[in-house]
Homo-oligomer: A and B are copies of this chain.
Amino acid sequence: GPVLSRGTACPGRSSKSDSSGVSNSGESSKESSRCSTPVQDADRTDRLRDKMKRRIESGDHWFSLEFFPPRTASGAVNLISRFDRMGSGGPLFIDVTWHPAGDPGSDKETSSMMIASTAVNYCGLESVLHLTCCNQTKEKITAHLNKAKRLGLKNIMALRGDPIGEDWVEEDGGFNYATDLVKHIRCECDDYFDICVAGYPTGHPEAESYDEDLRHLKEKVDAGAHFIVTQLFFRAETFLKFVKDCRAIGITCPILPGIFPIQGYHSLRQLVKLSKLEVPEEIMQVIEPIKDNDAAIRSYGIQQAVEMCKVLLASGEVPGLHFYTLNREVATIEVLRQLGLWAEDPRRPLPWAVSAHPKRKVEDVRPIFWASRPKSYIYRTQDWDDFPNGRWGNSSSPAFGELTDYYLFYLKSKSPKEALLQMWGEELMNEESVYEVFTNYITGQTNPSGHKVMCLPWNDDPLAPETNLLKDELEKVNCRGVLTINSQPNINGKPSSDPIVGWGPAGGYVFQKAYLEFFTSSENVTALLQVLKKYEPRVNYHIVNVQGKNITNAHEMQPNAVTWGIFPGREIIQPTVVDPVSFMYWKDEAFALWIEQWAKLYEDESPSRMIIQYIHDNYFLINLVDNDFPLDSCLWQVIEDMFTLLDSPPETQEEGSQS
């Protein structure tokens, strides 16, 4: 790709070839005046360094979170969920460590590269990928950098890494210090990456002296690093002295303290051993007596971290805090809550999570169908090149990625098979058993075997707060075989700051058309089609089965905007549409989930499996839009009318069909 052709002929290249567009103009973009939307980062003017600069100027403290790549695929699925949950608290960035032993640059689900890529592309998090250089060829490093670019990564933490074996031997022509790596990155990739380097408040364990180590740090920064994250420490004054010493020798970039909330006796011991740090006496004195009481240690760790962070923030020397999470969330979130840094009510820029990939930052409209499966949507559209004007572009139906690849990773349920069977039934008796599963998911009631239905194949998480607004109606229709998988209430101009349905910049108003999507039997569809005649043109519908039979009263190509927002000084944003073309792709995925996630839990030829297979083969997938958003939704009345017609004697039905 074109990004790869840059930076391959470093020596002698003119410096004006830096076209990556460093700029401190914040939001402005040449493209934006003709765009339909607030362009966010089309020209990469909103780089991590710029974000830090603005936060420093406004005195707005931030936090960041460090994770390591998981060992197993299911660990990866869990970590991604954790990214979503911890991302909602508003970290400025997250970083992912580099594990040379774990094939970190590969396409494995568990590689550092893929985890960081997922955080950027699927979770919308500004991410920093660690990269270590010792025992690596320049070619290998360059290949990693190019791959990172391609995947949308924009920030690198440049580290030396640990040598193989006990002692450190300099290699000729290889990378011996992080400084070499920083220089290599700047040489190969111009100013494309924001670069972070590590600082050691008590000096690097292998450095000759603290002062010698400070001079190394100054070299790393001078080579082109943009900010420093420090090794963990236990006393605020350790860090504050370190910052003072850095400033004294001319290091001016942001220096972020690494915070390690103590979470257990053994993890502390191990960490200290690896990092060759000393735990202060006053901490050991508290911990030793309670070393077998995990809860007590965690509680102490939180308190200790909060107090130290308060001192750091109050010093005026600390713009943001960097947390070593050890891939856990409780302690870090609690510390951040107590510090008032955790965003309890995060304002969303759009109703769905915006990918942080540079080319997708302008994206501002998506089909509603993937609302509960946003990662699937991003995966299936990852090869789209253009989002001109933030939209899909002029191609009438950009191909969606095949379902098959997708199964490999993103279709996986977070729950193990046994848990799914407990929720969805060890043995299904009939279609009604399936209706009960849906109903229990809606109501949150336990099923006969005493388990709550926490997810469905189409919804990995419990009911969203917004959908909760529709709970009573949803329960009523699901227990009669209208198996809902997606819905939204109508909204007629609520403030963009509304905690449940709000999104977008302050001072705006958000709107929605009522939407309902469900599976139901072909008998129900026959009655529904009768009923829908009464609701023309107020209600738009698409009704399809797995074979692709398609009944609609909507324009075959025209999307219907079902979520939009009006903001001060902006064009209209319409982030969610019911799009007839993409619905046919979603249909394949939605029907496939019956089989892949549910039917396959049961033995071949088993009655349970045959029931799901029957539904897959015979039910229809329906979506309904009530266009009259200022009025109460009529969609529940549509379903009610359908049931009334089904309940009426046959002659009445006949009459109905002639009306």
A-to-B contact residues, CB < 8 Å:
27-36, 38, 388-389, 391-397, 492-493, 506-507, 509, 511, 537-538, 540, 554-561, 564, 566-572, 574, 577, 579-581, 625, 627-630
Contact = CB atoms under 8 A, between A and B. Distances in A.
Contacts of A34: 391-396
Contacts of A388: 388-389, 394
Given A391-B36, A492-B493, A396 B31 contact: yes
A511 B577 CA distance: 20
A268 to B, nearest CB: 48
Contact of A569 (B33, B506, B511, B555): B555
A579 B34 CA distance: 9
Nearest to A388: B394
Count chain B CB atoms within 10 A of each CB in A396, A558, A561 and give the residue with the most: A558
Contacts of A36: 36, 389, 391, 574
B561 A540 contact: no
Contacts of A509: 629-630
**A-B pairs with the 7 shortest C-beta distances?**
A33-B557, A568-B627, A561-B571, A572-B574, A540-B569, A30-B396, A32-B557
A567 B627 contact: yes
Contact of A561 (B32, B557, B572, B627): B572
A554 B568 CA distance: 9
Contacts of A507: 537-538, 627-628
B566 A33 contact: no
Nearest to A580: B33
Contacts of A395: 34
Nearest to A573: B572
Given A31-B396, A538-B568, A540-B569, 11 more contacts: A30-B557, A32-B558, A34-B391, A36-B391, A388-B394, A507-B628, A537-B569, A540-B568, A558-B570, A559-B570, A560-B568
Nearest to A506: B537
Nearest to A559: B571
Nearest to A27: B555
A31 B394 contact: yes
Contact of A33 (B35, B506, B559, B625): B559
A561 B566 contact: yes
Given A34-B396, A389-B394, A560 B570 contact: yes
A487 to B, nearest CB: 19
A288 to B, nearest CB: 56
A29 to B, nearest CB: 7
A395 B34 CA distance: 7
Count chain B CB atoms within 10 A of each CB in A33, A393, A559 and give the residue with the most: A33
12 contacts: A28-B556, A29-B557, A33-B580, A34-B393, A34-B396, A38-B558, A493-B630, A559-B571, A560-B571, A569-B625, A572-B572, A572-B574
